[in-house]
Amino acid sequence: MARNEGTPASKNGYPEKEVEQNVDGNEHLQDFTTLVLRHRTLLLALKRQARPDRGSVAKKKLSCAEYSIRKRIVSWQPTSEYEARLKLEHLAGYILATGNALDPTDIDAICQSVGEYL
């Protein structure tokens, strides 16, 4: 199969991901969706951890990484109504999926960040 000559290939032969820098802010949204995807991946990894070894180093590292990314999502400043709704949708899904509540300070930060769009 011939490779598209216009698309640069990485070492594994797949096209490298190009960063789009559009005037309408798509690069910003792409970064936010990457954060959300990483957060979901970490939540799934935590769920798959065996319950008997709750004190495992791997689980603690996953928990710390999940907390860090969740805090980044909470503090994310949306640039549009769409992004504000995406942020709220993800965090609502987090609460429903895990049963964990957000801190009152997190809720205040979320409300302030999306307030101008809703």
Dist CA 17 CA 28 (whole Å): 15
Dist CA 114 CA 85 (whole Å): 8
Q: What is the pLDDT of residue 9?
A: 45
Dist CA 56 CA 54 (whole Å): 6
6-38 pLDDT, tens digit each? 444 444 443 443 333 334 445 666 789 999 999
Which residues, 6 or more positions from 111, have their beta carbon under 8 angstroms from its beta carbon? none
CB of 89 closer than 8 Å to CB of 81: no
Task: Specify the pTM.
Answer: 0.71
By the 10 Å C-beta count (0-12 exposed, 13-18 middle, 19+ buried), 45 is classed as middle
33-79 pLDDT, tens digit each? 999 999 999 999 988 876 655 668 888 899 999 999 999 999 999 99
